[in-house]
Structure 1
Amino acid sequence: MKHLHRRDFLTRSALATAAMATPRYGFSSLVKADEYVEVVTTHGRLRGARNEGVTIFKGIPYGGRVSGDRRFRRPAPLAPWTGVRDALQFGSPAIQAPRRNEPDPAEDCLFLNVWTPASDNRKRPVMFYSHGGGFVGGSGASGAQDGANLARNFDVVVVETNHRLGLLGFLYLDELAGADYAESGNMGMLDIVAGLKWVHNNIAQFGGDPSNVMIWGESGGGAKTSCLYAMPEAAPYFNKASIESGPGVRMLPKDVAAETTARLLKELNIAPEDWRKLLDVPAAGLLAAQNKLPPVPPFQEKSNPHSQARRDYSGFGPVVDGVVLPHHPFDPTAPAISRNKPLLVGWNEDEYTFFAWQSKDTEFAKLDFEGIQKKLEPQYAQDASKIVDTYRKENPNASAPAIFVAISSITMMGLGSVDIAEKKVKQGGAPVYLYNFGYKSEKKIPGTDYALGTPHAMDISFKFNNELPPRDGSAPTESYFGGNRPERFAASRHFAELWTTFARTGHPAAKDVPFWPAYNFNTHPTLRIDSTCEVIDNRFRQELAMWRSIGEL
């Protein structure tokens, strides 16, 4: 067991995606239908299924082929179809390990899903979600992010895409392969932009407003949202954003991306001048090679990008290539291109407990305060004692494991979130709202008496309003993460209503939730989201001051 810092995040975040594809929130292969609904799109007619007040369209193609001679390039044009195409089954996710309750992964994966109250041209807000899983896993069909309850209960249209991941989405060939492969290091992000363009051209037919689109995402999806917020090609297609437990302040520099490409070629025994042989390697072979390279997190450290600590890895994610991604999303400043677009950003209070649960780490629950300091010293050296002392002083009744969880959680997701909020305020444009999700699950981490609390990824089912009593009036079943307490239903309602109101108006608000002021440098307000919500001014003031003093913020 080791202290989980941001650089350790990618491997664990892929596990988060796997955990979300569980039977508790799983989908059958076909939509259950009370009736079928047809919609005309720019490429042909689609048939979706209407059930319990929501119309669902699954597996809509939004781009053409990305295999064969289109590998590592922009998609082939999407060919129109004749007749009516069924949109009743999810499309293939990107190449990765097989996903439960989903089609087999495939290289051609450009499909999206739509949940809408009705295809009636009413111009509802559109919530365009990017899934988690770092940049190597996940799908727009992940279980907990079913969009039906958001559409049904809050009158919004929800859209989720599949897009290229891993080396098929982010292999940097710009310096090796010439003009035809320019932008190759950001193909996965450009796929998402293609999905946004599809929404712009078609969503009115599904009851959505193409001029009122919110981009949002959790974990790796938050990092993707951070990139979209800074991408000129995405800018015309959304007007507000939410970055949840995935603060993508910095992305891969070109030199690190080029080194990753060199390591991949070496792994495959391909000389650089023979790079075209990559086009002939089966996708399964590329995935196997990808899995042999140590991963990188979906956001980069604040330290010098040329230091050995920063270059001791290889992996795949968006590249700051100066064109598709002109600069780091939030370094040195918030992106000017999105100056006038409101932003939500925040994290879960106990992010770390998810990773402890996934990796079967029970040792953290046995730590004493001396043990915490020893675990922090390899990363923070002489500052380790200062970190522990600050957290003990500010949390005098907390146990040693609770202090360790607090430190690990804020270094993973909190510091980057605060950094983004502060840079957005300094920009002087649209408001930014900072939050912490704090509903506490009573479920214990197996092998310990330590409760999950508010782990990484638990927010997904809450903000999608999928923590609800059964519609048939039967007794509620245990939530996958959230436990058994009925208070979770109120927390889910608050979270979902805040986000859908933000999508509609640009200001988050909900019934029985206090007014949420924009983040500012006078009161530093943070909304704590729970069954009862609270605005907390200057939250973590001393802890953040300490992190600044040692150069981590």
Structure 2
Amino acid sequence: MVQPLSDERAPLEGVIEISTGALRGETRDGVARYLGVPYSAAPFGDRRFRLPAPVEPWEGVRDATAFGPTAPQSPYAGALGELLPTVAIPGDEILHVNIWAPSDAAGAPYPVMVWMHGGSLKHGSNALPGYDGATFARDGVVFVSVNYRLGAEGFSVLGGAPLNLGLHDQLAALRWVQAEIAAFGGDPRRVTVFGQSAGGATVAALAASPVAGEVMRQALVMSGPLEAKDPADAGRITALIARELGVEATRDAFAAVDPDRLVAAQAKVLAGSSPLGGGPAYAVAIDDDLVPVSPGDGLSAGASSNVPLVIGTTTEEYRLWLVPSGAVDRITRLHLAIGRRAAKISAAAVRRYRANRPGAKHGEVFGAILTDVLLRRSEYRAADARAAAGAPTWVYEFAWRSPVRELGAAHAVELGFVFDGLAGADSVALAGASAPQSLAAEMHGAWVAFATTGDPGWPKWSTERTVRVFGGAGGGATVVPAPRLDELQELGG
């Protein structure tokens, strides 16, 4: 809501000026919050399926004390819906950022961290409680969380429309940060961009893109695939949705479909699919502009070698999808044999994974292999190539095992530790009520140290392949040679 300024245009408590107008936030416990601040115009009506457009300036003071609208989406289904929350806030102005900043200007300009949320490119928002940036602001960082177009609105492959609209939204948000963050006490020369899962994948794509140097100083990729697909492959979902709706896969045809109807069709064609299931999934698409090559290939070939990079995974990523759903118990030796042939994995590799996990279920062996094929193998390859070229790179692994639903060190369990928010409902759902605060302090502290000093606090990746393991068998954080390297070697890693 925009409120009129007084006739004298006197400064108001909690009001700051940016290029598009005045914002009123709020300050609590030494942290200033400005929520739902638009960085691009609402991407609906004539602007639907088009590149992000500039925000129209406003008169008066815009209220920035409440979260902005969320991108059209459906909640997670089944067991995942019980573990991963969804927030739905109506409205069209979905392209916005939230800012948490130290209220004490004495330390300004502060380093900046920009967060890209995950959610398979079709779920999530910056309004989720688990993404509260107050702990980062408490520790001397201006924290920015980005909302961007998701699913069919953001990652369709349509005739007459640009590719990767959601990624272009993120780029627009990062350019907004460069232009405006100084008003919040942030230093645009010290911007660390980070994200988890699909958010990690988009950060990797941006870090490997030709524009990286313009919008970030360094990057942090958490559990993000380093892959982009050719448009034909990335467009499989778009074709399925077009068939479901009985329309052509073009901008004009999709723009004529109500967003809620598009979400419903998307949910129908993707029912039962998962990042590990091999079915259709949204992906960043290779194009000639923003994503000229797959991010893993680009980073390995020297793209953004001047951008320091932290990259890592959890030890048991697969358990989020295979364990709560019960799929881990339904995978048989035959499924494993078929899957390894389809993925061109040798029988010797399967034997190695099995030998390293005495008594493991077939589904657990299958999941461990897929985790490495989809994430860890490409991560190590990129780290090796960057280290050989002198590009500063650090690798981590999150190994603490959650007792909740036998999740173990599953995908997303680390989020409450990174945000130092273990008491929040989002973290409790994944990590339980007794997760170790000491580990959260270590992991959150490493992320803040990277943003502040450019060094997360453990040795860079080199020929020694050292990895910082958070929450391993000893309970804390240790630096060790690359865990389970024998398995990756069998995979050709």
Of 178, 192, 195, which aligns to 2:173? 195
Name the TM-score, length of structure 2 as normaliser: 0.86
| Cα displacement (A) at 1:202 | 1.1
Q: Tell me the distance in 1 between the aligned counterparts of 2:203 and 2:432.
A: 29
**Secondary structure of the structure 1 residue equivalent to 2:407:** strand
| Cα displacement (A) at 1:405 | 5.2
User: What is the match of residue 295 of structure 2?
Assistant: 329
**Secondary structure of the structure 2 residue equivalent to 1:213:** strand
Instruction: String of CA shifts for 1:244-300, please: whole Å, max 9, x gaps.
Output: 11122x21202334555444433332346x752332211112222223334999999
Do the aligned partners of residues 213 and 299 (structure 1) sit closer, same or farther apart at CA in structure 2, a change above 3 Å counting?
A: farther
Amino acid aligned to 1:157:
V
Q: Within the alignment, does 1:508 sit opposite 2:456 as a pair?
A: yes
Within 5 A, what are the aligned runs for 1:220-259?
220-248=198-226, 250-257=227-234
Q: Within the alignment, does 1:114 sit opposite 2:99 as a pair?
A: yes
Instruction: String of CA shifts for 1:412-457, please: whole Å, max 9, x gaps.
Output: 432232233223224x1421111110122233x2xxxxx3221110
Name the TM-score, length of structure 1 as normaliser: 0.77
RMSD: 3.1
User: What is the match of residue 432 of structure 2?
Assistant: 483
User: What is the match of residue 374 of structure 1?
Assistant: 334
Within 5 A, what are the aligned runs for 1:258-297?
260-271=237-248, 276-294=252-270
| Cα displacement (A) at 1:236 | 0.4
Q: Tell me the distance in 2 between the aligned counterparts of 1:185 and 1:348.
A: 30
Within 5 A, what are the aligned runs for 1:457-476?
457-467=412-422
Instruction: String of CA shifts for 1:80-102, please: whole Å, max 9, x gaps.
Output: 11221110111111110269684
User: What is the match of residue 432 of structure 1?
Assistant: 393
| Cα displacement (A) at 1:238 | 0.4
Q: Tell me the distance in 2 between the aligned counterparts of 1:76 and 1:383.
A: 45
Do the aligned partners of residues 380 and 39 (structure 1) sit closer, same or farther apart at CA in structure 2, a change above 3 Å counting?
A: same
**Contact (CA 8 Å) 2:327, 2:363: kept in 1 or not?**
no
Q: Within the alignment, does 1:166 sit opposite 2:126 as a pair?
A: no
**Contact (CA 8 Å) 1:376, 1:384: kept in 2 or not?**
no
User: What is the match of residue 51 of structure 1?
Assistant: 28
Of 403, 407, 411, which aligns to 1:456? 411
Do the aligned partners of residues 461 and 434 (structure 1) sit closer, same or farther apart at CA in structure 2, a change above 3 Å counting?
A: same
**Secondary structure of the structure 2 residue equivalent to 1:194:** helix
Q: Tell me the distance in 1 between the aligned counterparts of 2:167 and 2:272.
A: 17
**Contact (CA 8 Å) 2:460, 2:466: kept in 1 or not?**
yes
Structure 1, unmatched stretches of 5+, are 1-34, 302-308, 446-450, 471-475, 510-515
Of 128, 134, 142, which aligns to 2:120? 134
Q: Tell me the distance in 2 between the aligned counterparts of 1:262 and 1:440.
A: 39
User: What is the match of residue 60 of structure 1?
Assistant: 37
**Secondary structure of the structure 1 residue equivalent to 2:114:** strand
Do the aligned partners of residues 239 and 223 (structure 1) sit closer, same or farther apart at CA in structure 2, a change above 3 Å counting?
A: same
User: What is the match of residue 309 of structure 2?
Assistant: 343
User: What is the match of residue 4 of structure 2?
Assistant: none
Of 536, 544, 548, which aligns to 2:480? 536
Aligned-residue sequence identity (percent) comes to 31
Of 461, 469, 479, which aligns to 1:519? 461
| Cα displacement (A) at 1:333 | 5.0
**Contact (CA 8 Å) 1:54, 1:117: kept in 2 or not?**
yes
**Secondary structure of the structure 2 residue equivalent to 1:45:** strand
Of 47, 56, 62, which aligns to 1:85? 62
Do the aligned partners of residues 318 and 393 (structure 1) sit closer, same or farther apart at CA in structure 2, a change above 3 Å counting?
A: closer
**Secondary structure of the structure 1 residue equivalent to 2:181:** helix
**Secondary structure of the structure 1 residue equivalent to 2:297:** coil
Amino acid aligned to 1:288:
A
